[in-house]
Amino acid sequence: IQLTQSPSLLSASVGDRVTLSCKGSQNINNYLAWYQQKLGEAPKLLIYKTNSLQTGIPSRFSGSGSGTDYTLTISSLHSEDLATYYCYQYNNGLTFGSGTKLEIK
C-alpha cells in the first residue's frame, strides 16, 4: 500500500486549525498511525488506529478517517508543533507517507 500525504509543506499561524491529509492506494482498514518528527529527533507516535491518542500527547491533536482517506487535525496550532508529520499504515505491509512539513508563520 502506498501512502500520499498532502500538502508536502504547510505554513500556518499560531492558533490556526490545521488539517493534514493521508491517502492510501488501497483500503487501510483504519490501521493508520501518525508520527511527529522534530528537527534532529526521532519520530514520536501521536495517533494510532486512526483516532486513538497516544498517552501524553496533547488533546489538540486528533485523527479521523476510514477506507483510504485519513486526516490529522491540530485544533489550535502551538509554536512547538513545528515538525514534519508522517502517516504510517500497518494493514498490509508497513509503509510511511512522504511527510508534511509544518511551518509556523
Partner 1 sequence: EVQLVETGGGLVQPGRSLKLSCVASGFTFSSYWMYWIRQAPGKGLEWVSSINTDGGSTYYPDSVKGRFTISRDNAENTVYLQMNSLRSEDTATYYCAKDRYYDGTYYPFDYWGQGVMVTVSS
Binding site for partner 1 (CB under 8 A): 33, 35, 37, 42-45, 48-49, 52, 54, 86, 88, 90, 93-99
Closest contact distance (angstroms) between CB of 49 and partner 1 is 7
Tell me how far, at minimum, the Cβ of 15 lies from partner 1, in Å: 28
Closer Cβ to partner 1, 60 or 101, answer by number: 101
Give residue for cell 512522504: 98
Longest CA–CA span in the chain (Å) reads 37
Number of other CB atoms surrounding residue 43 within 10 Å: 17
User: Which residue, 71 or 84, is less far from partner 1 as judged by CB?
Assistant: 84
Measured from the CB atom, the residue of 16 and 43 that comes closer to partner 1 is: 43
Instruction: Tell me how far apart the alpha carbons of residues 2 and 83 are, in angstroms, rounded to a whole number.
Output: 22
Phi–psi pair at 91, nearest 5 degrees: -85, -40
Nearest distance from C-beta of residue 80 to partner 1, angstroms: 19
